[in-house]
């Protein structure tokens, strides 16, 4: 019994890491620009398809495909920002959100028209052979996903803490006016933020597609990831990560003890309970607004 | 306030209008047929969760119609197919049905996709006396509906009966579990199986469900393993069994996996690799890659009219549906009316389109179909025949 | 009435001098809709009836999100509760149509009130997520409670009738919905111009300031939820009888997103906006229906273009051009996002 629970937790962590990666994308953009990017899930989907095209249709080697996908995803993020968000940057937030919703619809239908709605498998370099280690039972795929996620999160942490650009981004997130006064090009920072977010989405796509197979409706994972980010506290990066992982584990455990329906809503039940007690999520800061 | 006064006046006018109105008369004139063409309507999913089915069924039907039209049509009439997207939502399906019937003036509705969407429009179609032939749904709707509906598919309920008979009688297994999608799609076979097990004095040893877009089945696999089931019946499509098998094997659990026709696809093997070795499926018609006159024609038509789509069961389903329909059109003769078409359908008996299966119309269940099915198994990365064609018993849920 | 300062300034002037334009547009649309069924076929009438349903939802959602500033992604759940309650009452208890609708509307209002309570401390994204969770939980409950809701099989809804007069044709359903919509529009207008509406606006702008001015936050927020849920529940109940068939799959979070899209595209905190937004969402897909697989793509592109050119919604654009070209009303002053 404990063995089964342990394996549930491990695979839950792996799924949770993917949620966390997608959630990171949301949080980054939100922190810098106050915008909720509803197309984040579609970034993941699109990058999955890009890597599929490069790998299968053009037969490029895996490592090259990995790098190219992240690059192209970043470009996609910048394009979206310039075309859909920048023109209405000073409009009410709601309008920008609708713009991203429209963009996600366009991306989804475009993928459907180009690739069809059939499910496409994506090969992976991590094998799916199970390994037994004491009471734990997992696959190298799980390890690979968790490992990659940790690497990325570390990289981001270091980036924000030690590099000039990272600091510029943090400054912009705190106060756009002050950052601009200090010589930071806020517009460039915005584009960069979107590029990084889309890039992270790209990594998530490459990691997750071999597990759950590609299809244009993949983007709906964004909602779960979003819930994870909120659970952890939307303004904080560690919060988003922990929230996502918690979600993955919780889903698996409730799926084991109950049925599929409860598994799906367990996330949201927990979320509502947490929000009632802590309205800004587990680690979120309480928002202060001047009167 | 000025505004309020005007408002009440408008309201009063509205009430008077309602009281004075009478319902529109429903005409059942012959519609959708001219000397030059026959108009056929279908509401399907072209986007959304089941878009793959909708797009492929439509392509399969269009392949047949294009070929027939190019050859001169049926008695000189070209067949024109009009489809609208309803994204699995009943209100949209109702809107599309009204548009098809009243604006596009279709002759019949054919290949309408989805159970809730079809149920939503059935009453409307009956009221307007529009036949609903060969809808792409599973539910045994036609058994209880009026004369305007005819089905064409061997349901997963029928197939699950076959599976259970095989497991209990031939393999002598008693610990049987069910893995099913928790909506009407999976429930159809799941509940039929439950009833059939009772016939043998047995019960499911585990009933494990999943949601359609689920990506992770480790909890389901754990539950199945704990139950000690010897066989797991899969009420799923090709997406789930590979992942489930993989996760079961990762736990050191190796049951027999068996399921109705949707899992019998090369896609399943592509996705599952060695984990789906020894999985058994039910085939209700030969695979798209088999030889034979009908399948040769299928491949040629798909190549010509829909070359971008891979050959698989979803468009073959639409294809054979349309072929059946064309046969019925021809039997109805030059004097084509809705009545004559329905009459023609009932005359179909032992008709073979060219692949060794005989389609017959079955009286009170109101389905035209071949009742043949056979078992296939994955051996060394290929689906291999395990039995000859058997006769499916009609054991619907209702 | 001389106060000419603050963020409500645009609202006030609009009410006084631009009211005539908005009223004119609404009346013209109203008359057009009134005579429509006599020149159109059932398909168009049915679409029109669905339009009214969505206008009702938009009115309700606008009250909560547009006027009171509480983002809600939970309105698909209210819609579902209204629809299923009415259907179950009609099917199991055989209650008359009007009673079913009224009871289910008020039941939904109570649920809305109860949802509003835990949501009092939430705002913005967190509120949106909590209400989204509510939608998904309700959808799942509809499936689990299949004993009364028929679960995934779907549920047929009996035909509506009032005192023996049956609404069995689209024609009649259309006028019934039209009447209800007109009544609710009038009620909304009165609500918005009254004390409650002003309290909502105050809460939207700045909760602390509103509280300091004597607005009881808890009371007005929960009332906002309740009223909004009432409208949406009513719309849901009427929709159940209009379509005749219910299936839990329809009431997904995607539907909630569609509702929010309606009020933002139409224009937040605007009656005309509710009508226009609902029109956009219901009529545009029908116009595009002939495009088959390209429909969704074109629809998405149009949506993006619309919001890019009209960031304040369709009604915002009308106000702007009415001022610029015709000199009616005042340039809408809606707080712009400044750098923070």
pLDDT at residue B6 in the model: 56
Mark yes or no for CB contact A287/C132 under 8 Å.
no
Q: Is C23's Cβ below 8 Å from some Cβ in B? A: yes
pLDDT at residue B334 in the model: 86
Cα maximum dimension of chain B: 82
Cα maximum dimension of chain C: 62
Q: Who among A87, A97, A177 is closest to C308 (CB)?
A: A87
The chains found to touch A (3+ Cβ pairs under 8 angstroms) are B, C
- Specify the CATH architecture of the domain B37-152+288-367: 3-Layer(aba) Sandwich (3.40)
Three-state DSSP class for residue C277: helix
pLDDT at residue B119 in the model: 86
pLDDT at residue A26 in the model: 86
Instruction: Report chain C's terminal Cα–Cα distance, integer Å.
Output: 33
SS (H, E, C) chain B: CHHHHHHHHHHHHHHHHHHHCCCCCCCCCCCCECCCEEEEEEEECCCCCCHHHHHHHHHHHHHHHHHHHHCCCECCEEEEEEEEECCCCHHHHHHHHHHHHHHCCCCEEECCECHHHHHHHHHHHHHCCCCEECCECCCCHHHCCCCCEEECCCCHHHHHHHHHHHHHHHCCCCCEEEEEECCHHHHHHHHHHHHHHHHCCCCCCEEEEECCCCCCCHHHHHHHHHHCCCEEEEECCCCHHHHHHHHHHHCCCCCEEEECHHHCCHHHHHHHHHHHCCCEEEECCCCCCCCCHHHHHHHHHHHHHCCCCCCCHHHHHHHHHHHHHHHHHHHHCCCCCHHHHHHHHHCCCCECCCCCCCEEEECCCCEEEECEEEEEEEECCEEEECCCCEECCCCCCC
Mark yes or no for CB contact C250/B90 under 8 Å.
yes
C-alpha–C-alpha distance, residues C30 and C171, integer Å: 16
Mark yes or no for CB contact B222/A109 under 8 Å.
no
pLDDT at residue C181 in the model: 93
pLDDT at residue A208 in the model: 81
Best interface-test mutation with B: which of C243, C254, C285, C298 has the largest number of B CBs within 10 A?
C243
- Closest of C29, C121, C6, C99 to residue C315, by C-alpha: C29
- Partners of C246 on chain B (C-beta within 8 Å) are 90
In a domain, C140, yes or no: yes
Over 80: is that where the pLDDT of C20 sits? no
Neighbours of B331 (CB within 10 A): 16
pLDDT at residue B25 in the model: 38
Over 70: is that where the pLDDT of C11 sits? no
Over 60: is that where the pLDDT of C340 sits? no
CATH superfamily of the B156-283+375-391 domain: Response regulator (3.40.50.2300)
pLDDT at residue B24 in the model: 41
Average pLDDT over residues C236-250: 92
Sign of CA dihedral C175, C235, A96, B45: negative
Task: Check: CB of residue B146 under 8 Å from CB of residue B168.
Answer: no
pLDDT tens-digit map of C139-149: 999 988 888 88
pLDDT tens-digit map of C58-113: 999 999 998 988 899 999 999 999 999 999 999 888 888 899 999 999 999 999 99
Domain containing residue C184: 42-270
Q: How confident is the model at residue B353 (pLDDT cuts 50, 70, 90)?
A: confident
Average pLDDT over residues C208-237: 92
Q: Give the CB-side neighbour count of residue A86, counting CA atoms within 13 A.
A: 16
| B63 Cα to chain C: minimum distance (Å) | 17
The string over B270-288, giving b where at least 16 C-beta atoms fall within 10 Å of a residue's C-beta and e elsewhere, is ebbeebbeebbbbbbbbbb
Q: Who among A139, A213, A264 is closest to B250 (CB)?
A: A139
Three-state DSSP class for residue C67: helix
- Partners of B96 on chain C (C-beta within 8 Å) are 289
Mark yes or no for CB contact A118/B267 under 8 Å.
yes
Nearest residue on chain B to C179, alpha-carbon basis: B11
Over 50: is that where the pLDDT of B397 sits? no
Mark yes or no for CB contact C126/A99 under 8 Å.
no
Q: How confident is the model at residue C239 (pLDDT cuts 50, 70, 90)?
A: very high
- Closest of B311, C133, B28 to residue A224, by C-alpha: C133
The chains found to touch C (3+ Cβ pairs under 8 angstroms) are A, B
pLDDT cut 70: percent of chain C above it? 91
Over 70: is that where the pLDDT of B384 sits? yes
As a whole number, the mean pLDDT across chain C is 86
- Closest of C202, A255, C302, A217 to residue B217, by C-alpha: A255
pLDDT at residue A194 in the model: 92
pLDDT tens-digit map of B212-259: 878 788 888 889 998 999 999 999 988 889 889 988 888 888 999 999
Q: How confident is the model at residue B177 (pLDDT cuts 50, 70, 90)?
A: very high
> What six digits make up the tokens of C308?
């890019």
Q: Who among C154, C179, C247 is closest to B14 (CB)?
A: C179
pLDDT at residue C150 in the model: 86
Q: How confident is the model at residue C8 (pLDDT cuts 50, 70, 90)?
A: low
Mark yes or no for CB contact A103/C300 under 8 Å.
yes
Q: C-alpha angle with apex B196: B195 to B199, nearest 5 degrees?
A: 95
Q: Check residue C39 and report its DSSP letter.
A: T
Which stretches in chain A have pLDDT values below 70? 125, 127-128, 134-137, 285-291
Sign of CA dihedral A58, A147, A218, C155: positive
Over 50: is that where the pLDDT of C235 sits? yes
Q: How confident is the model at residue C122 (pLDDT cuts 50, 70, 90)?
A: confident
In a domain, C74, yes or no: yes
- Total domains present in chain C: 1
Tokens 């996908």 belong to residue: A69
Class of the A2-277 domain?
A: mainly alpha
Q: Who among B52, B182, B252 is closest to A118 (CB)?
A: B52
C-alpha–C-alpha distance, residues B76 and B146, integer Å: 31
pLDDT at residue B26 in the model: 38
> Among A241-245, B144-148, B303-307, where is mean pLDDT lowest?
B144-148
pLDDT tens-digit map of B256-288: 999 998 888 888 888 888 888 999 999 888 888
pLDDT at residue B398 in the model: 33
The string over C289-305, giving b where at least 16 C-beta atoms fall within 10 Å of a residue's C-beta and e elsewhere, is beebbebbbbbbbbbbe
Task: Judge whether B37-152+288-367 and B156-283+375-391 match in fold.
Answer: yes
Nearest residue on chain C to A35, alpha-carbon basis: C125
pLDDT at residue C330 in the model: 65
> What six digits make up the tokens of B294?
């009908």
Over 70: is that where the pLDDT of C329 sits? no
pLDDT at residue B205 in the model: 92
Chain centroid offset of residue A204 CA:
6
| B337 Cα to chain A: minimum distance (Å) | 37
Compute CA distances B191 → B44, C246, C249, C326, whole Å.
26, 22, 20, 67
Mark yes or no for CB contact C43/B103 under 8 Å.
yes
| Phi, psi angle pair for B385, to nearest 5° | -65, 135
Q: Which residues contact A42 (CB under 8 A, 6 or more apart)?
A: A103, A104, A107, A108, A219, A222
- Partners of A36 on chain C (C-beta within 8 Å) are 125
Over 70: is that where the pLDDT of C7 sits? no
pLDDT at residue B288 in the model: 85
> Among B132-141, C22-31, C39-48, C261-270, where is mean pLDDT lowest?
B132-141
In a domain, C337, yes or no: no
Task: Check: CB of residue A104 under 8 Å from CB of residue A39.
Answer: yes
- What is the residue-wise DSSP string for chain A? -HHHHHHHHHHHHHHHHHHHHHHHHHHHHHHHHS---TTHHHHHHHHHHHHHIIIIIS---HHHHHHHHHHHHHHHHHHHIIIIIGGGTTS-HHHHHHHHHHHHHHHHHHHHHHH-SS-B----SS----EEETTEEE-HHHHHHHHHHHHHHHHHHHHHHHSHHHHHHHHHHH-HHHHHHTT--HHHHHHHHHHHHHHHHHHHHHHHHHHH-B-GGGGGHHHHHHHHHHHH-TT-HHHHHHHHHHHHHHHHHHHHHS-HHHHHHHHHHHHHHHHHHSTT-SSPPPP----
pLDDT tens-digit map of B24-38: 433 334 788 888 889
The string over A221-254, giving b where at least 16 C-beta atoms fall within 10 Å of a residue's C-beta and e elsewhere, is bbbbbbbbbbbbbbbbbebbbbbbbbbbbbbbbb
Task: Enumerate the domain spans of chain A.
Answer: 2-277
pLDDT at residue A11 in the model: 81
Best interface-test mutation with B: which of A3, A42, A117 has the largest number of B CBs within 10 A?
A117
In a domain, C198, yes or no: yes
């Amino acid at each position: 019994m404990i063995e089964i629970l342990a394996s549930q937790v491990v695979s839950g962590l792996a799924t949770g890491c993917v949620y966390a990666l997608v959630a990171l994308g949301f949080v980054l953009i939100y922190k810098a620009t106050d915008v909720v990017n509803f197309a984040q899930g579609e970034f993941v989907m699109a990058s999955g398809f890009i890597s599929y095209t490069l790998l299968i249709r053009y037969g490029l080697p895996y490592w090259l495909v990995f790098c190219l996908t992240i690059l192209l995803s970043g470009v996609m993020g910048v394009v979206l920002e310039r075309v859909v968000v920048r023109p209405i940057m000073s409009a009410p937030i709601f309008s920008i959100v609708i713009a991203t919703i429209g963009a996600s619809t366009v991306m989804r239908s475009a993928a459907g028209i180009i690739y069809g709605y059939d499910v496409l498998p994506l090969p992976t370099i991590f094998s799916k052979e199970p390994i037994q280690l004491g009471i734990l039972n997992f696959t190298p795929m799980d390890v690979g996903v968790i490992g990659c996620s940790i690497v990325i999160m570390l990289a981001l942490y270091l980036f924000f803490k030690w590099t000039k650009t990272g600091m510029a981004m943090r400054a912009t997130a705190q106060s756009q006016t002050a950052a601009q006064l200090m010589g930071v090009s806020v517009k460039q920072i915005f584009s960069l933020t979107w590029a990084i977010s889309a890039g992270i989405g790209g990594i998530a796509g490459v990691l997750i597609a071999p597990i759950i197979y590609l299809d244009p409706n993949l983007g709906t994972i964004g909602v779960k990831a979003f819930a994870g980010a909120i659970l952890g506290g939307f303004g904080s990066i560690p919060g988003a990560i922990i929230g996502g992982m918690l979600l993955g584990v919780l889903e698996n455990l409730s799926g084991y003890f109950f049925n599929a329906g409860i598994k799906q809503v367990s996330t949201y039940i927990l979320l509502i309970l947490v929000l009632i007690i802590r309205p800004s999520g587990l680690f979120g800061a309480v928002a202060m607004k001047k009167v | 306030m000025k505004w309020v006064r005007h408002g009440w006046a408008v309201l009063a006018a509205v009430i008077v209008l309602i009281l004075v109105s009478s319902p529109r008369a429903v005409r059942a004139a012959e519609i959708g047929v001219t000397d030059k063409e026959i108009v056929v309507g279908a509401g399907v999913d072209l986007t959304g969760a089941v878009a793959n089915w909708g797009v492929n069924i439509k392509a399969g039907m269009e392949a047949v119609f294009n070929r027939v039209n190019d050859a001169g049509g049926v008695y000189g009439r070209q067949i024109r197919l009009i489809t609208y997207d309803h994204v699995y939502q009943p209100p949209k399906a109702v809107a599309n049905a009204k548009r098809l019937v009243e604006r596009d003036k279709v002759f019949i509705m054919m290949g309408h996709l989805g159970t809730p969407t079809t149920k939503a429009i059935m009453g409307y179609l009956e009221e307007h006396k529009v036949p609903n032939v060969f809808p792409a749904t599973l539910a045994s709707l036609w058994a209880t509906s009026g004369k305007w509906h005819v089905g064409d598919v061997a349901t997963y309920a029928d197939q699950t009966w076959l599976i259970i008979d095989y497991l209990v009688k031939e393999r002598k297994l008693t610990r049987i579990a069910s893995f099913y999608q928790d909506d009407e799609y999976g429930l159809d076979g799941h509940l039929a199986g439950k009833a059939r097990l009772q016939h043998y004095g047995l019960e499911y040893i585990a009933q494990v469900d999943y949601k359609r877009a689920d990506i992770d089945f480790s909890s389901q696999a754990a539950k199945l393993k704990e139950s000690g089931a010897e066989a797991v019946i899969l009420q799923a499509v090709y997406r789930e069994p590979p992942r489930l098998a993989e996760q079961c094997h990762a736990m050191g659990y190796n049951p027999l996996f068996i399921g109705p026709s949707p899992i019998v696809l090369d896609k399943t093997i592509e996705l599952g690799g060695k984990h789906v070795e020894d999985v058994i499926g039910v085939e209700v018609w030969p695979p798209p890659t088999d030889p034979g006159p009908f399948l040769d024609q299928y491949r040629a038509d798909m190549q010509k009219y829909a070359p971008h789509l891979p050959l698989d069961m979803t468009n073959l389903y639409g294809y054979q549906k349309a072929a059946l329909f064309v046969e019925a059109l021809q039997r109805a003769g030059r004097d084509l009316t809705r009545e004559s078409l329905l009459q023609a359908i009932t005359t179909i008996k032992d008709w073979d389109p060219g692949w060794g299966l005989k389609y017959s119309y079955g009286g009170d269940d109101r389905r035209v179909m071949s009742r043949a099915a056979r078992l296939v198994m994955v051996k060394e990365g290929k689906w291999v025949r395990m039995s000859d064609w058997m006769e499916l018993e009609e054991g619907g849920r209702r | 009435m001389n106060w000419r300062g603050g963020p409500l300034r645009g609202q006030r002037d609009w009410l006084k001098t631009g009211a005539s334009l908005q009223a004119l547009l609404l009346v013209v649309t109203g008359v057009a809709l009134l005579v429509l069924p006599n020149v159109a076929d059932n398909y168009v009438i049915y679409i029109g009836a669905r339009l009214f349903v969505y206008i009702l939802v938009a009115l309700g959602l606008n009250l909560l999100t547009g006027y009171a500033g509480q983002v809600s992604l939970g309105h698909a759940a209210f819609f579902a509760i209204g629809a299923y309650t009415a259907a179950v009452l009609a099917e199991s208890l055989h209650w008359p149509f009007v009673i079913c609708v009224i009871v289910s509307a008020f039941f939904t209002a109570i649920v809305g009130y109860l949802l509003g309570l835990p949501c009092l401390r939430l705002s913005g994204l967190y509120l949106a997520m909590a209400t989204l969770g509510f939608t998904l939980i309700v959808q799942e409950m509809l499936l689990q409670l299949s004993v009364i809701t028929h679960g995934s099989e779907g549920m047929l809804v009996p035909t509506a009738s009032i005192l023996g007069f049956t609404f069995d044709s689209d024609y009649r359903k259309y006028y019934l919905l039209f009447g209800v919509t007109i009544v609710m529009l009038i009620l909304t207008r009165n609500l918005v111009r009254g004390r409650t509406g002003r309290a909502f606006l105050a809460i939207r702008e700045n909760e602390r300031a509103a509280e300091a001015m004597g607005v009881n936050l808890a009371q007005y927020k929960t009332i906002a939820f309740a009223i909004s849920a009432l409208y949406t529940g009513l719309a849901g109940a009427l929709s159940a009888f209009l379509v005749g068939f219910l299936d839990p799959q329809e009431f997904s979070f995607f539907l909630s997103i569609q509702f929010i899209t309606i009020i933002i595209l139409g224009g937040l905190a605007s009656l005309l906006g509710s009508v226009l937004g609902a029109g956009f969402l219901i009529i545009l897909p029908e116009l595009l229906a002939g495009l088959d697989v390209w429909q969704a793509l074109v629809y998405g592109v149009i949506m993006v273009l619309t919001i890019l050119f009209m960031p304040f919604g369709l009604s915002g654009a009308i106000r702007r051009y009415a001022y610029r070209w015709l000199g009616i009303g005042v340039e809408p002053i809606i707080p712009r996002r400044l750098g923070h």
